Amino acid sequence: MKNQDIWTSEKILKTSGSYWESFTLHAAVKLDVFTLIENNFKDPTKISEKLNADKRAVTMFLNALAAMGLLNKENDCFKNTEQSKVFLVKDSPEYIGSIILHSYHCVNCWSALVETVKAGKSNKNILEMPEEERREFLLGMNVLASINSKKAAAAVDLSGCNHLLDLGGGSGTFSINFCKENPELKATIYDLIDSKPFADKMIMKAGLEHRIDFKAGNFITDELNGDYDAVWISHILHGENFVNCVRLVEKAVHVAKPGSKIYVHDFILDDECDGPLFASMFSLNMLVNTQEGQSYSEKEIFSMLQQAGLKDMERLPFKGDNDSGIICGLL
């Protein structure tokens, strides 16, 4: 058994009701309560008026956030904690509200888990989400990439590499940090067109517009073109079935030079597929949010790379946020 915690009745009941706190956090970010409080809306009357909401309900809501340790209460007024200021106030450079809102938008899919398990697949597709949800998803993915990209750039050896393909690179956070780590490197981000405005903004902010470009396309349906020294595939394979994953790696191989390395960064299951915990839960997240997505084990990813014609597969000594890992194969 991977989780060695003893499942007492208390722990089981606590887990059963743990969504109370997550839903409260979701609602606070959706209502932008922390930003309001930071902008001097500190008492329940002012906050309820600003939100056009019921004062009694708002007071109960703020008290719950204080009980969670996300707000401080003094003389019936509320203040942000230092952590809330850093992570939950919208104009903070370390704001993570976008990924919390993505979780908020996933709630309906998760509530249908029983039906999805019975049917074997979801009737939802995360790529077909409404524009507002898609925007929060892209911003949220940038938050997650920001957490891991500097560490990944230090772990991946791109010395001697001239041109990297960042497949499904979104806003380009990984490309930016790879280029910062490797002064001679250029990178191309390949992703859907709606990622381009976010990528252009990030690239310009980093001052790397002369070294990083963006190509728009669908890496599942479209053919790839180019001639690259390495390919980076981060958090892409978990959205597809095994066959499509192999095809995607084959496309990467098609545009890579002989001797190049293909890197896969993802939440990787152990070979028994019963851990780590986050990767296992994330696999369920893919079950309820995609048609055929799931987390894959190290053995399965090795097999994908091998079937695509790669050799000398290895797992890098890298452990990212939520136990993400990096596997590479040589062309």
| Predicted confidence (pLDDT) per residue in 8-38, tens digit | 999 999 999 999 999 999 999 999 999 999 9
Q: 273 — alpha (psi -120 to 50), left (phi > 0) or beta?
A: left
CA distance 239 to 137: 14
Nearest to 61 by CA among 91, 29, 99, 100: 29
Name which residue leads in pLDDT, 246 or 126: 246
Structural domains in the chain, sorted by start: 9-92 (1.10.10.10), 115-330 (3.40.50.150)
Alpha-carbon span 88 to 80, nearest angstrom: 9
What is the pLDDT at residue 138?
77
What is the per-residue pLDDT across 158-184, written as a single tens digit (0 to 9) for each?
999 999 999 999 999 999 999 999 999
Checking if the pLDDT of 76 tops 80, the result is yes
In this structure, are strands 71-74 and 77-80 parallel, antiparallel, or unpaired?
antiparallel
How does residue 232 score in pLDDT terms, banded at 50, 70 and 90? very high
Label residue 143 by pLDDT band (50, 70, 90): confident
Average pLDDT estimate for 234-242: 95
State what percent of residues in the chain have pLDDT above 70: 98
Is 132's pLDDT higher than 90?
A: no
Residues 195-207, mean pLDDT to the nearest whole number: 94
239-290 pLDDT tens trace = 999 999 999 999 999 999 999 999 999 999 999 999 999 999 999 999 999 9
Q: How far apart are CA 147 and CA 124, in angstroms?
A: 28
Q: What percent of the chain has pLDDT over 90?
A: 84
